[in-house]
Amino acid sequence: MADQDFTTTIVVDQTPAEVFAAVNDVRSWWSGDIDGPTDRLGREFRYRHGDQHRCTFRVSALVPGERVAWYVVDNRFSFTADRTEWTGNTLSFDIAEVDGRTELRFTQHGLVPAYECYEVCSNAWEFFVGESLKGLIAEGEGQPIERTGPPVEQDGVPGVPAASPMPRVVEQAEWQKARDELLEAEKAATRALDELAARRRALPMAPIDREYSFATPDGPRSLPELFDGRDQLITYQFMDSGPGRRCPGCTWFTDNIPATAPALLAEHGITWVTISDMPLERLDALWDGMGWTLPRASSHGTTFSRDTGAGGGFMLSVFLRDGDRVHRTYSTTSRGLDRNAFVTGMLDLTAYGRREQWEDSPRGWPQQPTFYNPSAMPEGARAVSFGRFR
């Protein structure tokens, strides 16, 4: 129903007292960016997630083994028209024994489908309560967001930073042995990628029979004209998320393309063009605001994105020209793109990786939800991965 408060329930084998203690250990299941006491009745604590979300809570109920509640004193979102959504809400954790087990019912009183943030916030609570808090209760380990800043003291009570474990320390010889074993696996993966590249080169191609007129800073261009006289063309379809919004994944990917890439590709007979269904005026404004110099074209008003499989999403496509005849030889999307982003590839070489929850990392490694943030980021925000921004 349109006026129904968001609620979600978990059932665990631990006692109500253990569940109560876990709920109050907020930094171990929600976020390290929480400052102030979370387990003292009447006291306030503050939560922040970059520049996107800042919230002040007052602990309004604290009944051991039965109930915890927080009243939202103040809230600020950066991605909703009404930035104060949540202000005046109450978040409750009701604990009860049911058939020999313990039931925890979380409700955000006031978070209803009419809220602009409802989908994002309800999905976040499903994760943080349904997975992270449940994991903390049942297994002793939650999946909170890693702390991003220094602790802030509030009323004499310091915030608690999330400590990150480190790889175990061994002698050089043992490290070299482990590295050599990994190298063999890396070589096998490289050979597998070489085989995939060979199959990619052997793919047939399909003709593009429809004609398109793209708007560019230099005037309208046809698809053959986008090749700029070269034999091959690579396009990236940048998602159109609407005025005032943009796709964080597309922004991250584009940020990772060096300004020298088009010239370097041209040396190999390949032209690069980023295409979007955004009108050219909006596309130009985005490029100017981000300082990008990559060639761009607007497919607004055409069926190009739909015809090439991107639809309303994003996709990289490769084309080969035979005179005025254009053929598509390859396309990829989703995770087919992520290792083509320079920073993402470098993160994969580091001890903590991307710090995302889908990664199979050692126990206790710092991780955060891959797509915790809204799917479209506001103007002025900065992409920090394919799914997050601040």
What pLDDT was estimated at residue 375? 62
Which residues neighbour 196 within 8 Å (Cβ) at sequence distance 6 or greater?
A: none
Greater pLDDT, 305 or 161:
305
Q: Which helix (H) or strand (E) is 245 found in, with range?
A: strand 245-246
Write down the pLDDT at residue 144: 92
**What is the enclosing helix (H) or strand (E) of 316?**
strand 315-322
Residue 110, pLDDT > 50, answer yes
pLDDT band (50, 70, 90) for residue 152: very low
Q: Tell me the pLDDT tens digit for each residue of 42-80.
A: 889 999 887 789 999 999 999 999 999 999 999 999 888
CB within 8 A of 125, min separation 6: which ones? 6, 8, 106, 108
- Which pLDDT belongs to residue 318? 98
Residues in the chain: 390
Which range has the worst mean pLDDT, 6-15, 96-105, 154-163, 279-288? 154-163
pLDDT of 230-263, one tens digit each? 999 999 999 999 998 889 999 999 999 999 999 9
Identify the weakest region by mean pLDDT among 127-131, 207-211, 372-376, 378-382: 372-376
- pLDDT score of 293: 96
On average, the pLDDT of the chain sits at 90
**What is the per-residue pLDDT across 291-323, written as a single tens digit (0 to 9) for each?**
999 999 999 999 999 999 999 899 999 999 999
pLDDT at position 221 is 98
Once rounded to an integer, what is the mean pLDDT over residues 7-22? 95
pLDDT 10s digits, 170-207? 999 999 999 999 999 999 999 999 999 999 999 999 99
* Between residues 156 and 88, the one the model is more confident about: 88
pLDDT of 387 reads 81
E strands within 111-217?
A: 206-207, 214-216
**Residue scoring higher pLDDT (56 or 158):** 56
Helix 280-290 to helix 248-255 angle (10° resolution) is: 50
Higher pLDDT, 370 or 125: 125
Measured CA to CA, the distance from residue 20 to residue 94 in angstroms comes to 9
Give the SS3 label for residue 336.
helix
Position 79 scores a pLDDT of 85
What's the pLDDT score for residue 154?
A: 39
d(C-alpha 227, C-alpha 259), whole Å: 18
CB distance 291 to 272 below 8 Å: no
